[in-house]
Amino acid sequence: MTKNIWAGLIALVLVITCGVLEVVLLGRAYEKMRDECHDVMNYCESETLTVEQYREFRDNWVKLRETSELLLPHIDVYEINLRFAEGQAYIEQGDYDNLMAQLTVIDELLDYVPHLMKPNIKHIV
């Protein structure tokens, strides 16, 4: 009986530790991605953003997305992905106004998704 209690406690500690690491590490990754989004928005606003810069930004998102989809099966991750795809079309057309609209939504979602990871009684009720 004592072995079962210890095994249960160890499993609980491991699950909690993994959850905390997930929130911290993914939260930092999303924060870094959001900072990069602000830089891209500044380039877009001044209409100096290049297709290559946007592709690099999108490639960084793809790396984060793969981790996010593994740990966070949220529809918002998919929505960010769609916004990046639309943004790709706009940068290739040189349509900075519509690209800026997409980047604004991406920025908001990059702020919102990590909020969903944090345990909160409001998310449960």
Q: Write the pLDDT tens digit of every residue in 11-59.
A: 888 887 877 777 778 889 999 999 999 999 999 999 999 999 999 999 9
The residue that leads in pLDDT, 78 or 43, is 43
Q: What is the pTM of this model?
A: 0.81
User: Three-class SS of residue 22?
Assistant: helix
DSSP string spanning 24-92? HHHHHHHHHHHHHHHHHHHHHHTT---HHHHHHHHHHHHHHHHHHHHH---HHHHHHHHHHHHHHHHHH
Work out the number of other CB atoms within 10 angstroms of the CB of residue 5: 9
pLDDT for position 123: 60
**In this model, does residue 66 exceed pLDDT 80?**
yes
